[in-house]
A and B are shown apart, each in its own frame.
Chain A
């Protein structure tokens, strides 16, 4: 059944029991992103290591559908502990997969639980839900790096 393809158990698990949720101190940058078509919103904070090279924490709060909430939970699981370079590669891989209209399966080694969102890519109206927290992270990481005087080429491009 199509519904189960989209709402895989791993997505429902992250939705019902989100990881790393809640806003924490200290943080390097905080952003607020909304999906104007549905009103879903996320406030997301990023903390970088003292040298500005590593993501040491992502904390977030918001309201939204199961897809947007679960995707943000998966993001935090994957990206906390990664270097900026690794994190941006993860974001790019997730973006490619969910924007692919079902043509990109996704690499489990890179995306972990994130590959459960491959089914979402077949529903164009839900792609923005899946990307809400991920694009918020990209903006927040760029702001956090900039506030430390860092400039990462990976953070310059718009997704």
Chain B
């Protein structure tokens, strides 16, 4: 791995050498072309080594006891938190670890409905989300509405896959506006500043699903001025079993806990307990210690390459994909076809060939893509579709892999014609 403002072929070779899985020859006899990083990314040796190094030298429980391993483990855990927080533009005390982004979004949806919070969601309130969302940023809000008697409303989606900002007007009843930074289907980005401004105008809190942005572009939650944000480790070259909830410092301090138990307390009697300050208040039980170490290594790995360089690299791959697919008459791309208006992933359907069958032909060619509704069934329904093929990119992908994708789609059309 080398550092530069732009990834050239030599840099890319170096990056790919850090991911041994990319050399794998798949069951069809072809080398893996992994175009499913939007589902989960591959992990570089640096992340695996960091976890192994920690577990073979410093493993211990954190924030309890007084022996040397406990001290080293706590230092590694909190240094990891600081690195990860810095990577997303958060203060260390603003970052709560969760098992994944789904848990982070569930956590915030629960505590925002807790009547110990002065601004809790209640009957007659309105929760706003969008038709673009992954189920993880939709169902928790459906459930919050059900629990509290609030009403769920949403921004619709335009025919080209952008949020339709004219489809909903916010008023003083709106308590929460939850939206994804980047769609995991259409590749379009939300107008964060505009949505934050609208939410603030009516006194609503904002929750950002940043799962598809944090791994692919520079992200600074404080600059984005959102109140909460969620992202997952495994989509950003880190381990599974680790995600995070960002919460604005002042706001987190006001919120009651979600899960309760060990390590999140101040004092406990048989009658009652008082709770630790954030972030520990929201981290009940033994934490994902080696996963935090691994995720911090992933954040450092991405930072060393540079998120702007990664964004530019992926942009070139997306542009090539859009160009290649647009040249096939049977292909319909979901979302904008102009690369200036979107990012990864690229979802599409092939006239006359079901997404599953396209995916099977690509699999035979060693090209791994996602098929289905990508946990965004309402969005697919909006476009009259049950399933799409989705190619998603990461720092380690190449133009050659894009060419193999395009060739595979053409092969599928020939096979089923």
Contacts and interface: CB of A to CB of B under 8 A. Distances in A.
A35 to B, nearest CB: 9
A22 to B, nearest CB: 19
Interface stretch (A50-58, A63-71, A138-146): A63-71
B372 interface: yes
Given A3-B360, A126-B360, A39 B377 contact: yes
Contacts of A15: 416
B364 A3 contact: yes
Interface residues of B, number: 18
B387 A38 contact: yes
Q: Classify chain A: how many residues form its interface, as a range.
A: 20 to 34
B354 interface: yes
B415 interface: yes
Interface in B363-378: 364, 371-373, 377
Given A3-B360, A38-B356, A66 B372 contact: no
A37 B28 CA distance: 24
A69 to B, nearest CB: 8
Nearest to B385: A39
B361 interface: yes
A17 to B, nearest CB: 13
A138 B145 CA distance: 37
Given A3-B361, A65-B354, A12 B373 contact: no
Task: Tell which of A12, A15, A41, A64 has the most Cβ of chain B within 10 Å.
Answer: A64
Contacts of A3: 28, 360-361, 364, 415
Interface of A: 1-3, 6-7, 12, 15, 37-41, 63-67, 123, 126, 129
**Which 5 A-B pairs rank lowest in CB-CB distance, beginning with the nearest?**
A65-B356, A39-B386, A65-B354, A38-B372, A3-B364
Interface of B: 27-28, 354-357, 360-361, 364, 371-373, 377, 380, 386-387, 415-416
19 contacts: A1-B28, A2-B27, A2-B364, A3-B361, A3-B415, A6-B360, A12-B416, A37-B372, A38-B356, A38-B373, A39-B380, A39-B386, A41-B386, A63-B386, A65-B354, A67-B356, A67-B357, A123-B360, A126-B356
